[in-house]
Amino acid sequence: MSTPEVPPKKQILLNAFDMSTVGHLSVGHWKNPTDRSATKRKLAYWVELAKLLERGGISGLFLADTNGGFDIYGGDVEESIRRAVQWPVTDPSIPITAMAAVTKNLTFGITASTSFESPFVLAKRFSTLDHMTDGRIGWNIVTSWKKSAFNAIGIDPIEHDQRYAQADEYMRVLYKLWEGSWADDALQPDVDTDTYIDPSKVRHINHQGKHYKLSTRHIVDPSPQRTPFLFQAGASAEGIDFAATHAEGIFVSSPSPEILRAQIEKNRKIAAEKGRDPRSLKFYLSFTPVLGKTDEEAQEKFEALKKNASVVGGLVLFSGWTRIDMYKLPLDEDITTVDSDEARKLRNIFKPTAQTPVWTARLIGEKAAMSDISPSTVGSPATVADVMENWINVADLDGFNLGYVTSPGSFEDVVELLVPELRRRGIYPEAVEPGLTARERVYGKGQTRLRDDHAGSKYKYEVYLEEEPYAT
């Protein structure tokens, strides 16, 4: 569609979205003989995936995480376990270096919670990851809401508002460690004086806050990015405010580009009020395309994949996200004929369409198990790219967090079918400049450190002494 004559179009960002578990957003597909989702406990899965994404020029691989099962459906985790819905789950930080060792350009994002570990421990781990990936690491900041996760960790759940206040302090402790502890020139290897580090250039951080106390220098010298590239998702007022302060990449979901546009505008406005360039917040939509060479082939593929969808698994996911216990609904009855709170809520979400004149719990579960409740499209590369361009243009979106239905399968289609089409349209980079950090991959070469207008920059070594913005 684009031609060399028109001015360069906005380049989109593509993350592959996965989780070190059997069923992530699409559930039940381990039953597909070609699927390898149940082998993610082995390194081969991750090494092959990383090589594929690198070959396809995909910006990043983002891995979700959780510490508890979904327990709304039926009031317990039984079906989450039985259907392998985000269960079992392994630690996403562990396979990163195996993937980093076989790639040069692929960046990585992993989820970690501010609620479950000491800031020092998290700071050390991410500094290590940033060093060992040559600056290719991002962090998806979550505050955690699952009661089951708090029970697993053995602490009392933190109330929602409180959680974000606590997370805000947590972030500021991290900035002190990552940005404020070491001068850029603290490493001064000098053979003659037997000096490796100048200790006067490694500031001792003494944080005595409301939720955290810490007295130490950061134990890791500055990694390429210092602060990892910061992702966040969170649609509540507190979540949006937190993102407007701390997030550089924001994961969003929305039923339509128009609704999303209003949401993104609002988020950017709040960020601007905080003194940030609103365009420096990059919004990624969760999006699961099912691709074929033609629309017909894609549709046939979708129908074939659907045979393995776990209806109950899909309902487990859907119940977890919406807090509507789908276990209480009959599987095959028209939701308009059921008289219950749950059915009433569903009727607000699922309206009859020409394609689906009657909605049942089974159809909702099947749709959820195909990752087809958040935005999803079935079609040829041109069809899918049209939908993506529409999202980008209408919603003022920056990129996509691409889900999969089968792995291998979906991401291969992205690399082989979708990326070439996006490149043809001039909206995806032809080649990646090698050796960029995660932050440079988003903001451009040279922007390895936090932008100056980011909250964390107030804690940079050179300015922190004067300001002590969180001193007590």
According to CB under 8 A, which residues from 10 to 49 bind a second copy? Answer: 20, 22-23, 28, 30-31, 38, 41-43, 46-47
In the complex with a second copy, the residue whose CB is nearer, 168 or 421, is: 168
Q: 89, 243, 264, 438: which one contacts a second copy (CB under 8 A)? A: 89
**Min dist. Cβ of residue 403 to a second copy (A):** 19
Q: By C-beta, is 132 or 165 nearer to a second copy?
A: 132
Q: Which helix (H) or strand (E) holds 402?
A: strand 399-402
Angle at alpha carbon of residue 173, lines to 167 and 174, rounded to 5°: 90
Residue 83 near a second copy by CB under 8 A? yes
Least distance from a second copy to the Cβ atom of residue 157, Å: 12
Q: Can residue 214 be called a binding residue for a second copy (CB under 8 A)?
A: yes
Estimate to the nearest angstrom the gap between the alpha carbon of 192 and the chain centroid. 48
Kind of pairing between the strands at 213-216 and 205-208: antiparallel
- Nearest CA-CA partner of 96 in 124, 126, 66: 126
The nearer residue to a second copy, 81 or 338, going by C-beta atoms, is 81
CA distances from 90 to 82, 298, 312, 341, 402 (A): 17, 32, 23, 36, 21
Site membership for a second copy, residue 357 (CB under 8 A): no
Question: Using the rule CB under 8 A, is 213 a contact of a second copy?
Answer: yes
67 makes contact with a second copy (CB under 8 A) = yes
With b for 16 or more beta-carbon neighbours within 10 A and e for fewer, the 397-427 pattern comes to bbbbbbbbbbbbbbbbbbbebbbebbeebbb
Query: How far does CA 125 lie from the centroid of its chain?
Result: 18
| 287 contact partners, CB below 8 Å, separation of at least 6 | 374, 375, 376, 377, 388, 391, 400, 401, 402, 403
Which helix (H) or strand (E) segment holds residue 37: the answer is none
Measured distance between the N- and C-terminal CA atoms of the chain, rounded to whole angstroms: 57
Least Å from the CB of residue 18 to a second copy? 15
Applying the rule CB under 8 A, the residues between 291 and 310 that interact with a second copy are: 310
User: Which one of 63-71, 103-111, 391-399, 401-409 is the stretch in contact with a second copy (CB under 8 A)?
Assistant: 63-71
Task: Write phi, then psi, for 401 (nearest 5 degrees).
Answer: -105, 100
Beta carbon of residue 109, minimum distance to a second copy (angstroms, whole number): 16
Cα 191 from Cα 253, distance rounded (Å): 55
Rg (CA), the chain: 23
Applying CB under 8 A, the span of 89-97, 278-286, 417-425, 438-446 interacting with a second copy comes to 89-97
Q: Which amino acid is at 283?
A: F
| Residue 90 touching a second copy (CB under 8 A) | yes
Based on CB atoms, which residue is closest to a second copy, 177 or 240?
Answer: 177
Residue 197 binds to a second copy (criterion: CB under 8 A) = yes
Residues 110-169 that bind a second copy (CB under 8 A): 116-121, 124-125, 127-129, 131-132, 134, 148, 151-155
189 lies in the binding site for a second copy (CB under 8 A) = yes
Opening angle at CA 414, ends 98 and 249, nearest 5: 70
Q: Are strands 249-252 and 282-291 parallel, antiparallel or unpaired?
A: parallel
Residues near a second copy (CB under 8 A), total: 79
Q: Which of 223, 225, 232, 410 binds a second copy (CB under 8 A)?
A: 223
SS3 readout for 65-118: CCCCCCCCHHHCCHHHHHCCECCCECCCCCCHHHHHCCCCCCEEEEEEECCCCC
**Amino acid at position 65, single letter:** D
Instruction: Among 60, 249, 313, 375, indicate the residue that binds a second copy (CB under 8 A).
Output: 313
Contact between 471 and a second copy per CB under 8 A? no
Among 12, 52, 58, 96, binds a second copy (CB under 8 A): 96
Closer CB to a second copy, 38 or 331, in the complex: 38
Nearer to a second copy among residue 155 and residue 259 (C-beta): 155
What is the separation of C-alpha 383 from the centre of its chain, rounded to a whole number of angstroms? Answer: 25
Give me the least distance between CB of 160 and a second copy, in Å please. 21
Q: Which is nearer to a second copy, 85 or 281 (CB)?
A: 85
Which residues inside 375-414 make contact with a second copy, applying CB under 8 A?
none
Question: Per CB under 8 A, does 91 bind a second copy?
Answer: yes
- If one asks whether residue 87 binds a second copy (CB under 8 A), the answer comes out as yes
